[in-house]
Structure 1
Amino acid sequence: MTLQSKLDAFKTDFEAGKPPYNVPPSVIETMHRATAELIESGIARHALKAGDELPAFGLSDPEGNMVSSGDLLSSGPLVISFYRGVWCPYCNMELQALQEALPQFRQLGASLVAISPQNAANSRKSVRQNSLSFPILSDPQNAVAATFGLRFELPDYLIDLYTTLKNDLPAFNGDTSWTLPMPARFVVGQDGVILYAEVNPDYTRRPEPDDMLPALRRAARSAA
């Protein structure tokens, strides 16, 4: 079963209000409105693309250790997944799919990190719940996401909905900005050039992990 088919099955049940979700139609309509407006804004067109240079970054892992893009690239190509948070079921299913694909990435000499605005405690929770063996790096206020062109501000009506649903982003993230990254996936060669980029303002749509393998194989051949 592909990642997207799993996401589609979850979305069907969630939007139908099936137990245990029991979500009223008004909530679904609000979420659809926010996604449509984000798509129509064209923000995704300004995100980094294949051929662009990776913005250097240094972020803390769940244990408080600083992880730099330079150190990661010194050992091989890099896969980066921008992830909304532990509260997002679509993101968690994506992390699980990436974990399943991790042996293939490592066989090609690549490392994998996820980047999220959530604080270290919630990153540790993500790692536990999804049985991950790769780190989730904390990106306070989505500062690194902004350098990739991924950060956006939630509209007021969506903030109201999230508050009602107890998706308290200031508590999850440790800041009051009410910003998120668009879900995104990048493959970066050791020279710091982005070889693959997939950005989607619709958080229910995610690329398959296998989609990155051609770029990782090219990176492996270049490093040989």
Structure 2
Amino acid sequence: MQGPSSRRSLAGAALVAACACLAAGPSPAEEAAELRGFRIGMAVSDLPSEGYTGFACGARPETALDGWGGFRACPPDPATGLREVRFRYDDAANPLARLHDRYAGTKVGGQPVLLSLLIGEGARVEGLRIRTDPGARLFERKRAMLFGEQVKNRYGEEGWTCTDAAPEAGEEPVGGVFIKEHCDKTTADRRFSLDRWLYRRAGEDLRRFSGGTAVTILRRGG
């Protein structure tokens, strides 16, 4: 029988093995995957049938789906023609979620996020969208804009073209920091769009600031 320390060690080892964190670069076996077992270009029929829940249209979150195959119930994006399917990690399928709430929920790189697959008419995954969760706890929202640095680290610091926007009327720094950054990057087979922001409205409670990161990864030509 294993003692408490052994169980803790096994849990820690399992976490390291299971966590697909953007903060670390991909291993050779994972190089083609953007997140966990999701690879841009894979067929909808090959998407995992277990471990995920909460399927809904990204553009219409009130439209629940039975699974990946219901993507055509979601409206196509006017610009790309892709259909966005939002989903969550299923805590019931994650034994680590029962050990501590830090392992529970839908997280990437330790940050609570909203995840979507972008699916084309050919029933293939053409893109992935990750947005930090605006409903996360205060201390997690405070560091949400740092997730953008993890994205750049994961996909390479070079090649990003970034612009910084000035504050608009009524927008103020948070703790002396103001960020409204947009970045683009193109590689041989991917197009990346990254946004980071941190500011608050003048006169609002300090806890009601706006801060986060959103990244969209598209197959080039998709």
TM-score bracket for this pair, using the shorter chain length: under 0.3
Bigger share in helix: 1
TM-score by length of 2: 0.25
TM-score by length of 1: 0.25
Bigger share in strand: 2
